Amino acid sequence: MLLQTVPFAIAHISKPEVETLSTIFGGFAFGWIAYRTKSFVWPFLIHWFIATFIIIVAAAVGIAASLYHLLNHAVFKGLLFLGAGGVVMATGTRSLEDMGGLLKRMP
C-alpha cells in the first residue's frame, strides 16, 4: 500500500497543505483498493472521477458567481441611471455647470 501512497503524496507535494496531507489517506485507500482488486485500474478510475467531479463543481460555482455578478451589475447600473435621472428632473437641466447648489434643491 505504501507503493501507492508515496508516489501519490509526492505528486501533490506542491499543492496546499490540506490537499497534500489528504493524499496520504487517499494514497493508502487507493493502495488498499488496488491490493484488494489486484489492479490499478479502479484506483485510477476513482481518482479520475473525483478530479472530474471537482472540476465540474468548480465550473458550476464559477458560472453561478458570474451570473450573480451580471445581475448585480445590471441592478446597480439601473439604479445609478435612475438616480441621475432624478437629479436631472429635480434641476431641470442636464448641464453640470447649472446644477450648483444640489444640496439645497434635493434634500
What pLDDT sits at residue 74?
Answer: 96
Closest CA to 47 of 25, 16, 26: 26
For 43-102, the pLDDT digits (tens) are 888 888 888 999 999 999 999 999 999 999 999 999 999 999 988 888 888 888 888 777
Model pTM above 0.75: no
For 30-45, the pLDDT digits (tens) are 778 888 888 878 888 8
Ramachandran region of residue 38, left (φ > 0), alpha (ψ -120 to 50) or beta? left
What pLDDT sits at residue 52?
Answer: 92
What pLDDT sits at residue 34?
Answer: 81
pLDDT at 2 over 90: no
Separation CA 41–CA 53 (nearest Å): 18
